[in-house]
Structure 1
Amino acid sequence: MNVAVIGVGHVGLVTAATMAKIGHNVIGFDIDESKVESLRNGIVPFHEPGLQELLTAGMDSGSIRVTTDAADALSDVDVVFICVGTPRREDGSPNLTYVQSAAAMVSTHATRPTVVVEKSTVPVQTGERIRQALTLQAQSRGQSLTHDVVSNPEFLKEGTAVEDTLYPDRIVVGADSAAAHEVMRRLYEPQLAAHDCPYVATDVKTAELIKHASNAFLATKISFINAVARICEATGADVETVADAMGHDGRIGRSFLNAGLGYGGSCFPKDVEAFIHIASDLGYDFGLLRETERINREAKRWPIGQLRRMLWNIGDKTIAILGVAFKPHTDDIRDAPALDVIDALVAEGTTVRLHDPVALPHVADRWGRAVVLCDSAEEAIRGAHAVVTCTEWPEYEKLTPAQLAEWLEFPVVVDARKVWDPEALAAEGLNVASVGRQLLG
């Protein structure tokens, strides 16, 4: 099939590359000329394991090309994916300006009836607004083409986005016509034939709600276990053992029960806030999600409290921060909890040394000279009064307690991501604050 993707950011480029991988002809459109030029040169402008190889294969075979010409992208396609940003407004509601602009592009440039697919995360009832925008634009141009609108939410995780998209837990398609459902089944047929997963066929509104409900529930699991971690710290219980035992219950599951700095990234913070706003507009006060947000803010403050407890005054200290990306295997720093930690330290006048394997270019100008960017974890830690883990990169797990004890000026470790065994650190003479455990050392 001929597939167009409007917006080739993280979601759009992964969508384009995987659509080409399963056998479709794909053209990506973006208004960002520098991004398109980078992709034409075969360079992925962000860090996502496996995506560079997929892009190269697609470019070499001719199954993927990119353009800044909307007419070129939309003139003869079966399916159009809308993968544009939906940033937060000040009141927490999603800004759908880019979605409306994408719909206008389709109505202006499509040369035949097309299935228009919401891939961006949007509020319930957005499909109706897209359909309205398509109709009004067509009427204003004297056109008679009718396009189907479909909701096909993505469930990819940054750092494993390619695998998640090629081998999904489920494929959700919301459409209000049998014809649109038939097109989407044909689109995904190569993938369904190669990978056994549920194909959830529903109406547009239900599909839109599935995405927000899924992300909000996962964020709630994270906040729940972070609340439990505070109880564990106060009583001497071990949050890891609590979470493991909870996870054996099939009704609960172990995933996303990882106490730490809380959730971040481009999805959970924005989607939780948007869902609260959507519910409010519909007359429902989603108090559970407001508490989820509050606990998440509290989790981000945890390292500062531990540093004060162990070092007393932190303004005259040097603190090593390991990791600034919101999670490992990505360079995405959007709403990364580490930013809150570093901002708080900088406000105190603390000297901060920061290391991250891939994300440092994205914070090069954020704090100026207040934060020293380090080429290695050792450079960040050596001579520091404490080390704080903010992203659980695998390479940090390889650092030994003996190395930490040797490099640190003061024997203080604040492990906000449970990177190391606290008992092993304490045995080396280190004072350890590890999320969900009593202070050791």
Structure 2
Amino acid sequence: MKIAIVGSGYVGLVTGACFSEVGINVVCVDIDSKKIENLNNGIIPIYEPGLEDMVVRNMKKGRLSFTTNIAEAVKECEVLFISVGTPPDEDGSADLKYVVSVARDCGKNMEDYLLVVTKSTVPVGTSEKVRKAIQEELDKRNVAIEFDVASNPEFLKEGAAIADFLKPDRIVIGLDSPKAEDIMKSLYKPFTLNGHPTIFMDIVSAEMTKYAANSMLATKISFINDIANLCELVGADINLVRRGIGSDTRIGHKFIYPGIGYGGSCFPKDVQALIRTGDDYKYNLRILKAVEEVNNDQKTIIFDKIKKYFNGDLANKTIALWGLSFKPQTDDMREAPSLIIVKKLLEAGAKVNVYDPVAMKEAKHHFGDSVTYFEDQHEALIDADCLAILTEWPEFKFPSFKIIKKLLKSPAVFDGRNIYDKAEMKQNDFDYFCIGVDTQK
């Protein structure tokens, strides 16, 4: 079987690499000729642990290739995955122009049966738009070629995407054709041999499952952050509360870590898109609107704490920031809290020193010359008035507190991810501030 994956971004590239890893012939298509040229030279456009080795290995074995020629890819494949971007419009709805464009390319170029699978995160009803666009192009050609449409949403965590694809919690597939079901079963057989469940359902339900899953996780994050803020006011310790409620198997420990809000390419966009879908159907998704509001407010928490510590005057203060990506093990800064925090610090007149293990190149696209970049985490602290932790990279978790204190002008640490222990920081004579704990009592 030969498959094509249109869109060589995060989802498309991981999907193509992992399918080729189990012996399937894959061609990845993208309109960005520079990206394709780089990929053919083994240059990966994103940071994802293990991805570069997998791509290079399968290219050498002839199972993975890259092209800008979508017409040729459509003619040669039996299954085509749409993995293009669906950026949010100003009203929060997903922009489907790239998805529909790929569908039209399928209708213009297919010569035999084709199964078109939406892998991109798309609103409910998108598969019907895909089906319509394909059929319209076939009608223009005055040809009758059989095709099916399916939905196969991805559930990949940035930083662990390879493991998530190769050993999935579940595989969700929406379809309405026995032939399409047989093809998808065959395609995913290497990933289900160890008992990983494949859940077949109708297409609309599959589309909704992706949005509902991400919105549920976003809800847990905003919930624990709301509780953390209350804990700080009443004198409770959110770290203890989290352990107490997480031990309930109905709740669990995952996604109830307090912090400075969620970011990335999925949660913010998907919550907005689902809210918009509700509005389109005249249904008010009140909980999700609150989730979004809490998250937006949470991204300013660390800035507010820093400003209060310096009595509201940040003019000419130097703030050192460790971590810029929205989470560890990725260079992705889309919707990262660091974007908001840096903006507010600069607006308040502060100077900003930044360090991140992998996101420095990406940071320069966002901040330009407005901040000072450092290739060493400790150099970023020299003569800084305080340190703020924005991303919980492993290398930040066990630092030399003696070195930190020696380099900083003020012994102040603002921990946006609660990676340090309150008692230990107090023992080292730091002014320590985190999320959901009154560290000053």
Amino acid at match of 1:266: S
Contact in 2 for aligned 1:432/1:439 (Cα 8 Å):
yes
Contact in 1 for aligned 2:422/2:439 (Cα 8 Å):
no
C-alpha displacement at 1:5, in angstroms?
0.2
The aligned residue for residue 20 of structure 2 is 20
Q: Secondary structure at the match of 2:433?
A: strand
The aligned residue for residue 127 of structure 2 is 127
Distance 2:435 2:319 in 1: 18
> How many residues are paired up?
440
The aligned residue for residue 393 of structure 1 is 393
The aligned residue for residue 239 of structure 1 is 238
Q: 2:331 aligned with 1:334, yes or no? A: no
Distance 1:438 1:327 in 2: 25
The aligned residue for residue 258 of structure 1 is 257
C-alpha displacement at 1:171, in angstroms?
0.3
The structure-2 alpha-carbon separation of the partners of 1:10 and 1:145, relative to structure 1 and needing over 3 Å to count, comes to same
Q: Secondary structure at the match of 1:27?
A: strand
The aligned residue for residue 111 of structure 1 is 111
The aligned residue for residue 315 of structure 2 is 315
C-alpha displacement at 1:365, in angstroms?
4.5
1:416-441 Cα offsets, whole Å, 9 max, x none, are 01122222111111101111111338
Moved more, 142-151 or 217-226: 142-151
Q: Secondary structure at the match of 1:169?
A: coil
Distance 1:115 1:209 in 2: 20
Distance 1:437 1:234 in 2: 8
Amino acid at match of 2:226: A
1:250-305 Cα offsets, whole Å, 9 max, x none, are 11111000110110000000000000001110111001001001100111010111
Q: 2:37 aligned with 1:4, yes or no? A: no
Distance 2:66 2:363 in 1: 28
1:205-261 Cα offsets, whole Å, 9 max, x none, are 000000000000000000000001111111221112211221111111110001101
Amino acid at match of 1:159: G
Distance 1:436 1:243 in 2: 10
The aligned residue for residue 65 of structure 2 is 65
The aligned residue for residue 355 of structure 1 is 355
Amino acid at match of 1:227: D
Contact in 1 for aligned 2:168/2:191 (Cα 8 Å):
no
Q: Secondary structure at the match of 1:4?
A: strand
Q: Secondary structure at the match of 1:369?
A: coil
Q: Secondary structure at the match of 1:425?
A: helix
C-alpha displacement at 1:397, in angstroms?
1.1
Q: Secondary structure at the match of 1:112?
A: coil
Amino acid at match of 2:385: H
Amino acid at match of 1:264: G
Q: 2:298 aligned with 1:302, yes or no? A: no
C-alpha displacement at 1:385, in angstroms?
0.7
The aligned residue for residue 184 of structure 2 is 184
The aligned residue for residue 283 of structure 1 is 282
Amino acid at match of 2:296: R
Contact in 2 for aligned 1:44/1:52 (Cα 8 Å):
yes
Distance 1:213 1:91 in 2: 19
Distance 2:370 2:43 in 1: 32
C-alpha displacement at 1:366, in angstroms?
3.2
Contact in 2 for aligned 1:76/1:112 (Cα 8 Å):
no
Contact in 2 for aligned 1:401/1:424 (Cα 8 Å):
no
C-alpha displacement at 1:57, in angstroms?
1.3
Contact in 1 for aligned 2:260/2:301 (Cα 8 Å):
yes
Distance 1:368 1:158 in 2: 25
The aligned residue for residue 161 of structure 2 is 161
C-alpha displacement at 1:196, in angstroms?
1.7
The aligned residue for residue 346 of structure 1 is 346
Distance 1:367 1:172 in 2: 39
C-alpha displacement at 1:108, in angstroms?
1.4
Moved more, 378-387 or 270-279: 378-387
Q: Secondary structure at the match of 1:366?
A: helix
1:157-184 Cα offsets, whole Å, 9 max, x none, are 0000111111110000000111111110
The aligned residue for residue 141 of structure 1 is 141
Distance 1:166 1:365 in 2: 32
Q: Secondary structure at the match of 1:377?
A: coil
Q: Secondary structure at the match of 2:287?
A: helix
Name segments (4+ residues, structure 1) moved above 4 Å: none
User: Gaps (5+ residues) in structure 2?
Assistant: none
CA RMSD of aligned residues (A): 1.1
Contact in 2 for aligned 1:232/1:239 (Cα 8 Å):
yes
C-alpha displacement at 1:318, in angstroms?
0.5
The aligned residue for residue 37 of structure 2 is 37
Q: 2:47 aligned with 1:47, yes or no? A: yes
User: TM-score, with normalisation over the residues of structure 1?
Assistant: 0.98
1:386-405 Cα offsets, whole Å, 9 max, x none, are 11111111111121222221
Distance 1:220 1:365 in 2: 30
Amino acid at match of 2:314: I
Distance 1:168 1:259 in 2: 26
User: Gaps (5+ residues) in structure 1?
Assistant: none
Identity among equivalent pairs (%): 40
Distance 2:299 2:188 in 1: 40
C-alpha displacement at 1:109, in angstroms?
1.7
Distance 2:222 2:53 in 1: 36
The aligned residue for residue 203 of structure 1 is 202
Amino acid at match of 2:257: N
Contact in 1 for aligned 2:79/2:117 (Cα 8 Å):
yes
C-alpha displacement at 1:369, in angstroms?
3.3
